[in-house]
A and B are shown apart, each in its own frame.
Chain A
């Protein structure tokens, strides 16, 4: 049974989260209301997962995460309020070692937290499945540049990357390590709520050499551009002409219970992309991306999966490997290199 600790200064949130998790068969071993108790409860109870509110008295969520990570790494989910600085604090929390976040309803729409119960349970389960030993690996490592000269990557190459729990850090690293001169066209599908995907794209833009933005409907992705699929919409590649990929939003049903789904983007890319194509699936719970990689493979593209050792959750990459359609299984720090190598001297 998954054991969870809840830390939130709102009694309402503590109660609702407890109810939701308990109803889903997760054992809430303790619910605390301030930062000091949060650190104490996590270290004492050694839960599989903890949810951490950012705004708490005496020690905020960021400090809690930092202390826990220093003392005994434990998978933690940040409870994020969207308003004001919510999004940037959330990414800050991810930087400090939180594996994922749950977005609190903002109240802007008449949507209450009960409507998010499935998503919450899924995220908590995914976080609980994280192997704590992967949490500290390579933290803050310097970007490793590919040994392959970028000029051997053919023009008009496309990379489609899908990731989920634990993915933002890996994506940031990989995108930073991909040489700008390779002028890749990068499509990123990270399972993330709307409103955060935009902020995430901005972050990647600031921290990597790629021109990164949240994909908009009818957008075109040129050489050296990276787009992040918008939360709540599937991202489809509709055409590849004049060196630019045309993309569109698809408001169809969730696939694998997620939206954006990696499979949608990868399948459409396999169909529409004419040049060299690489698909990669990183850490995450579930099966999304496996079928997408197979489609890319079938269309003559190359496929990569993150290895079990470095994946926080070896769910999606594992399922992809099981299909037999994965060309390379690589640790986190060799993913960028692998992508470039796959495109090296592409014969197509």
Chain B
């Protein structure tokens, strides 16, 4: 069945893409309900999803997406309006579809039962008529409204039972409820007022019973069931067309009042609260759903062909080399080696290029996340993304997903103010968050800016002192941008407020570490009441870097050559000491001298006059580094550290040399 699993892989990838497209097109639709393009996209994508579920034989998922498609069809034809509640329902369904695709990816088949969601959608589709039916119930008759029964095999009915306003109503009601509980044909879902209230006799002789029945049953059976009971004076049975809407009773008070039960509104609004709590936690979980790593990339056939040709050349070259070496023609061997090197590096370029994926791959679901968060917090936010087609290396992008999410989340949580506050400040009610990707040569910058409250400098200072990061005296002399940098300090973030974002506790310090780990930088700008902007600047490609190898004692380290301005012998330089710090002056600039043996704690390094001094470029860091010797240079692939070693100051990663020797690469910025 290898063949089937291949198809499943394609299916999962295509569905994931479809889901993201669907989410974003739905957001467009919500923002502009009359947008034809959005609804057409939404519709086509939903149709494709449904078709693919069908082809693969995933019946339940197909039904769910079919229901979504039908609802969208009604919207497209203008028979249903785009309301927030309806969109919530669609989004909920899309989330469930996503969950089912995940399950398929994991287990080969979905385990989630979407019956309830399908029912809610179907109910929303014929919501109008169902509501009308519940508003004017005919006494003693069972109104069976055609609802979602066909789809999920269960449908819900509400029986309004009148046992008469007598002294025995309490006992009568209990008999009725017990009989209901014993009945095989239906399942008692809940009562209004709740059962305790009924058993205490605190009702006026009428109560509602909500029942779940098999599709085959209809309201008539329920009606006759109660009519046959000698305790029941009269009964009205209605189909509960929209279970969800009824339970979140806030918008549809008419449905609960119609029973005429005095206590009903109270109890049901209690119900409603419970449910909305539930749905809140559900929304939070939506916002925190895991960020997927980019697991597949699409490759141009041309690139693959080029790759193949290069590999072929390499094979040929290897054969040539072997022949030459056999014949001991070492001069030609060197020439061929040169050729080999050229091929290798073009091969490298090709592969690196193939690994590039657009930023969109990881930020594609952000609009949806912002929307959910904003709705959750009662904020109005316009989220825009630009330049997300800029490409970066897959491994870098994968690292960035959580940090970016955290930055966005910060902008929503702490940046954008509630609408009322914004109005007070004279700003538009709706806040704006913009994510912009820009490519400049071999770097890509990603900026997240908001027009919110801005960073509170005083609060940051207070907190830094509170957390013991700095003393009040130290804080007082910092300028604003230095204060902003404090938020990257480990221990500054309050982890508890962020854990739910990614499920593994990301604070700005971690964001900073991750960004540095991929050879990137991070910059924060802020203006009170005007907003905050966070910019990540990152390499387009993984670090294949030319490094200079230096030794200190017996140890060898690498320093990226792009960071180096000049290498000198110690004896040619003048070293002065100011306040216990050795310094070197060059071009009227003062460079503190860092001795590697001290910094890296290399005990057995003997200092001598023929030590070397490496001057770092001033735009990187204005320092000089003292080491024992300089032993050559090489192009290497730097692997950033992960886990326990990540963020170790002074070290950006390690590189494996040809002989399997591991060399640490120095991060001169944090050394």
How far apart sit A11 and B56, CA to CA, in the bound complex (Å)? 12
A12 touches B47 (CB 8 A): no
A113 touches B55 (CB 8 A): yes
Write out, one digit per residue, whether chain A residues 1-33 have a CB within 8 A of any chain B CB (1) or not (0).
Answer: 000000001111101100100010000000000
Hey, which chain B residues are within 8 Å of A10, CB to CB?
A: 14, 48, 51-52, 55
How far apart sit A113 and B3, CA to CA, in the bound complex (Å)? 13
Question: A83 near B: Cβ within 8 Å?
Answer: yes
Question: A324 near B: Cβ within 8 Å?
Answer: no
Q: Which of A16, A55, A109 contacts B59 (CB 8 A)?
A: A109
How far apart sit A115 and B54, CA to CA, in the bound complex (Å)? 12
Stretch at the interface among A99-107, A154-162, A224-232: A99-107
Question: A81 near B: Cβ within 8 Å?
Answer: yes
Q: Which of A57, A107, A109, A110 contacts B66 (CB 8 A)?
A: A107
Closest chain B residue, CB of each to CB of A14: B10
**Known interface pairs A16-B55, A112-B56; A107-B44 also in contact (CB < 8 Å):** no
Most buried by B among A9, A10, A81: A10
A9 touches B48 (CB 8 A): yes
Question: B63 near A: Cβ within 8 Å?
Answer: yes
**Known interface pairs A55-B47, A83-B50, A104-B51; A12-B6 also in contact (CB < 8 Å):** no
How far apart sit A114 and B52, CA to CA, in the bound complex (Å)? 13
A107 touches B53 (CB 8 A): yes
Question: B183 near A: Cβ within 8 Å?
Answer: no
Hey, which chain A residues are within 8 Å of B11, CB to CB?
A: 12
Hey, which chain B residues are within 8 Å of A12, CB to CB?
A: 7, 10-11, 14, 52, 55-56
How far apart sit A70 and B292, CA to CA, in the bound complex (Å)? 47
Hey, which chain B residues are within 8 Å of A16, CB to CB?
A: 7, 55
Write out, one digit per residue, whether chain A residues 240-252 have a CB within 8 A of any chain B CB (1) or not (0).
Answer: 0000000000000
Q: Which of B51, B59, B73 contacts A13 (CB 8 A)?
A: B51
Hey, which chain B residues are within 8 Å of A19, CB to CB?
A: 3, 6-7
Question: A111 near B: Cβ within 8 Å?
Answer: yes
CB distance from B117 to the nearest CB of A (A): 16
Write out, one digit per residue, whether chain B residues 31-73 have a CB within 8 A of any chain A CB (1) or not (0).
Answer: 0000000000000100110111111111101110010010001
How far apart sit A41 and B81, CA to CA, in the bound complex (Å)? 42
CB distance from A247 to the nearest CB of B (A): 30
Give 8 new A-B contacts, CB below 8 A, not counting A10-B55, A112-B57, A115-B57.
Answer: A12-B52, A15-B6, A15-B7, A15-B10, A19-B7, A106-B62, A107-B59, A108-B59
How far apart sit A124 and B385, CA to CA, in the bound complex (Å)? 46
CB distance from B619 to the nearest CB of A (A): 47
CB distance from B150 to the nearest CB of A (A): 10
Closest chain B residue, CB of each to CB of A15: B10
How far apart sit A110 and B6, CA to CA, in the bound complex (Å)? 19
Closest chain B residue, CB of each to CB of A56: B44
A106 touches B57 (CB 8 A): no
CB distance from A132 to the nearest CB of B (A): 29
Chain A interface bracket (under 10, 10 to 19, 20 to 34, 35 or more): 20 to 34
B3 touches A105 (CB 8 A): no
Question: B4 near A: Cβ within 8 Å?
Answer: yes
How far apart sit A280 and B670, CA to CA, in the bound complex (Å)? 90
Hey, which chain A residues are within 8 Å of B55, CB to CB?
A: 10, 12-13, 16, 104-105, 112-113
Q: From DSSP, what is the main secondary structure of chain A's interface residues? A: loop
Interface size in chain B (residues, C-beta < 8 A): 27
Hey, which chain B residues are within 8 Å of A57, CB to CB?
A: 44
Chain B contacts to A: CB under 8 angstroms: 3-4, 6-7, 10-11, 13-14, 44, 47-48, 50-59, 61-63, 66, 69, 73
Return the 5 tightest CB-CB contacts between A and B, nearest first.
A107-B62, A112-B57, A107-B54, A110-B59, A12-B11
Hey, which chain B residues are within 8 Å of A107, CB to CB?
A: 50, 53-54, 57-59, 61-63, 66
Most buried by B among A12, A23, A83, A111: A12
CB distance from B46 to the nearest CB of A (A): 11
How far apart sit A113 and B53, CA to CA, in the bound complex (Å)? 10
Hey, which chain B residues are within 8 Å of A11, CB to CB?
A: 10, 13-14
Hey, which chain A residues are within 8 Å of B61, CB to CB?
A: 107
Hey, which chain A residues are within 8 Å of B69, CB to CB?
A: 83
Hey, which chain A residues are within 8 Å of B48, CB to CB?
A: 9-10, 55
How far apart sit A16 and B6, CA to CA, in the bound complex (Å)? 9
CB distance from A9 to the nearest CB of B (A): 7
A110 touches B44 (CB 8 A): no
How far apart sit A2 and B3, CA to CA, in the bound complex (Å)? 21
How far apart sit A120 and B47, CA to CA, in the bound complex (Å)? 22
Hey, which chain A residues are within 8 Å of B44, CB to CB?
A: 55, 57
A106 touches B54 (CB 8 A): yes
How far apart sit A10 and B55, CA to CA, in the bound complex (Å)? 10
Hey, which chain B residues are within 8 Å of A23, CB to CB?
A: 3
CB distance from B544 to the nearest CB of A (A): 33
How far apart sit A16 and B52, CA to CA, in the bound complex (Å)? 11
Closest chain B residue, CB of each to CB of A109: B59
How far apart sit A301 and B104, CA to CA, in the bound complex (Å)? 57
CB distance from A222 to the nearest CB of B (A): 35
Hey, which chain B residues are within 8 Å of A111, CB to CB?
A: 57
Hey, which chain A residues are within 8 Å of B66, CB to CB?
A: 83, 107
Most buried by B among A23, A84, A107, A108: A107
Question: 18 A-B contacts, Cβ less than 8 Å apart?
Answer: A11-B10, A12-B7, A12-B52, A16-B7, A19-B7, A55-B44, A55-B48, A83-B69, A104-B51, A104-B54, A105-B54, A107-B54, A107-B57, A107-B58, A107-B62, A108-B59, A112-B56, A114-B57
How far apart sit A112 and B52, CA to CA, in the bound complex (Å)? 10
CB distance from A19 to the nearest CB of B (A): 5
How far apart sit A109 and B63, CA to CA, in the bound complex (Å)? 10
How far apart sit A115 and B6, CA to CA, in the bound complex (Å)? 16
How far apart sit A15 and B73, CA to CA, in the bound complex (Å)? 28
**Known interface pairs A107-B62, A108-B63; A13-B52 also in contact (CB < 8 Å):** yes
